Amino acid sequence: MHRAAIYLSPVDDIRWFAPNNYGRLIVPRLRERGWSVATEGSNPARLSFAMSQTAGVEAFRFARRHRAPLAMYVWDLPPWRIGDGRPDHVFAVGGHLLRLPRLGRRFAMGRGFHSRVYWLARHAAAVWAPSHQSQQDITRHIGVQVTQVEYCYDSDRFTPGAADPLAGPPVLLSVSRLVPYKNQEAVIRVAARFEPRLRVRLVGSGDEHDRLADLARQLGVACTMESDLSADAIVAAYRSAAVVVCPSRFEGFGLTPIEAIACGVPVVASDIPPHREFLGPVAEYFSLDDDAGLEAAVRRALVRGVPDGSGIARLTLDAAADRFDVALGALTGRRRAHAMVPPAFPLEA
């Protein structure tokens, strides 16, 4: 009786682990394409998939418990966290990963977390990444083969709509965590270079909040900072902005400028590889730490008008689901029941 019960238990194609709704965004599209994907519960599955390195340990435990292969989506490896160090020693004991600190040169920050990511990636059946930059970084630091599988933005929600600009000077919008590498101080500095000064709206939370507020006061820039906005409120924020500025020093994917373009808002972005890869000629670019160049880019964006959204068509939910469908089929050997558009990425990195 016990064996029969085990045999008759439902087996999903994929047990999907993600830290937030964004990481689960594509799941309904995969189900439409015939995949049985569970995002909760303990039923067995043929593949354990971590949609972020932060979900890697949980996905590993599931894979170990159900003897399923593990696949990981690694968004990025920030260089200031890795440095030129090496991971601590990690050992798998049952469903646990135990760490023994290394003597000598180690990762610069987050040593336990990144050491576990290193171990998981080297023991996974597949490692995927969203951009060429992340693909190269992971291969260089971890030494594994990485497949680029581009993800998506919420193309059902972020769409062009009637603009509702706020009265007064134009608003520069930035949507991201308030942390040093996101570089929001550049948005405040450039707003102060205009006469009258432009206004700044920062959507996000983080340790930089007070420092950014102080900088805005010193420069006489009207700056509002908001957090915990709903997705609909963020769409409204995009549509009311004159320009969305994305000044990050580092990104693995770079979601904000993609969402802004989808909403029909001009974008100014730092000239880093992921921005160039996904935005192409649609955005205005500036070099990091070049305030004059940022000012010129903002002035161009203010007169540029609605951006051409065709360049981000490959990043819609349906386009990404087609890519994941193909890549998951190649990984699992599952025969797909219907023809799909060929992927826009190589299955082998």
CB of 59 within 8 A of CB of 40?
A: no
Average pLDDT, stretch 101-129?
95
- The reply to whether 128 falls in a domain is yes
pLDDT given for residue 6 in this prediction: 47
Residue 184 and residue 108 share a domain: no
Buried b (16+ CB within 10 A) or exposed e, 144-160: bebbbbbbbbbbeebee
Which range marks the domain in which residue 44 is found?
2-152+316-332
Mean pLDDT over residues 76-103, rounded?
Answer: 93
- CATH number, residue 251: 3.40.50.2000
Q: How far apart are CA 175 and CA 241, in angstroms?
A: 11
Same domain, 90 and 11: yes
pLDDT higher than threshold 80 for residue 164:
no
Question: Distance (Å, rounded) from C-alpha 109 to C-alpha 84?
Answer: 11
Question: Mean pLDDT throughout 323-343?
Answer: 71
The pLDDT tens digits of the residues spanning 272-317 come to 999 999 999 999 999 999 999 999 999 999 998 899 999 999 999 9
Give the pLDDT band (50/70/90) at residue 7: very low
What's the pLDDT score for residue 94?
84
Q: Quick one: 115 and 230 in the same domain? A: no
* Nearest one of 66, 56, 110, 113 to 90, comparing CA atoms: 113
Q: In what order do the strands lie in the sheet with 199-203?
A: 223-226, 199-203, 171-175, 243-246, 267-270, 284-286
Beta bridge partners of 47: 14
What is d(CA 31, CA 36) in angstroms, rounded to the nearest whole number?
A: 6
CA–CA separation, 187 vs 208, rounded Å?
Answer: 13
Distance CA 35, CA 181 (A): 38
Residue 159 lies in a domain: no
200, pLDDT greater than 90: yes
Looking at the structure, tell me whether residues 66 and 92 fall in a common domain: yes
The answer to whether residue 157 is domain-embedded is no
Would you say residue 141 has pLDDT above 50? yes
Here the tokens at position 77 are 């490896």
Looking at the fold, whether 192 and 253 belong to one and the same domain comes out as yes
Check whether residue 16 and residue 59 sit in a common domain.
yes
Residue 147 lies in a domain: yes
Q: Would 338 be classed as within a structural domain? A: no
Nearest C-alpha neighbor of 252 from the set 102, 75, 124: 75
Lowest mean pLDDT among 58-67, 102-111, 174-183, 330-339: 330-339
In this structure, the answer to whether residues 199 and 115 fall within a common structural domain is: no
Q: Which SS3 state, helix, strand or coil, does residue 235 take?
A: helix
Asked whether residue 115 falls in the same domain as residue 227, the answer is no
Using pLDDT thresholds of 50, 70 and 90, give the confidence band for residue 161.
confident
Q: Please indicate, yes or no, if residue 346 is contained in any of the structural domains.
A: no
CA atoms lying within 13 Å on the CB side of residue 28: 6
61-65, 163-167, 239-243, 303-307 — which is least confidently predicted? 163-167
Residue 10, pLDDT score: 85
Same domain, 145 and 202: no
Whether 333 has a pLDDT exceeding 90, the answer reads: no
How many domains would you assign to the chain? 2
Mean pLDDT on 49-58:
97
In a domain, 67, yes or no: yes
**Separation between Cα atoms, residue 52 and residue 18, nearest integer Å:** 6
Is the peptide bond prior to 247 cis by the omega test (within 30 degrees of 0)?
no
**Domain check: are 88 and 54 in the same one?**
yes
End-to-end CA distance of the chain: 47
Can you give the pLDDT at residue 336?
52
Task: Give backbone dihedrals phi and psi of 124, rounded to 5 degrees, phi first.
Answer: -80, 155
Q: Measured between alpha carbons, how far is 146 from 127 in angstroms, rounded to an integer?
A: 5
- Residue 175, strand partner residues: 203
| Among 249, 282, 288, CA closest to 267 | 282
> Is 198 in the same domain as 90?
no
pLDDT at 37 over 60: yes
Tell me if residue 223 falls in helix, strand or coil. strand
pLDDT tens-place string over residues 225-238: 999 999 999 999 99
134 with 194, same domain: the answer is no
Q: Is 124 helix (H, G, I), strand (E, B) or coil?
A: coil
Averaged confidence pLDDT in the chain: 92
Residue 266 lies in a domain: yes
Q: In this model, does residue 339 exceed pLDDT 50?
A: no
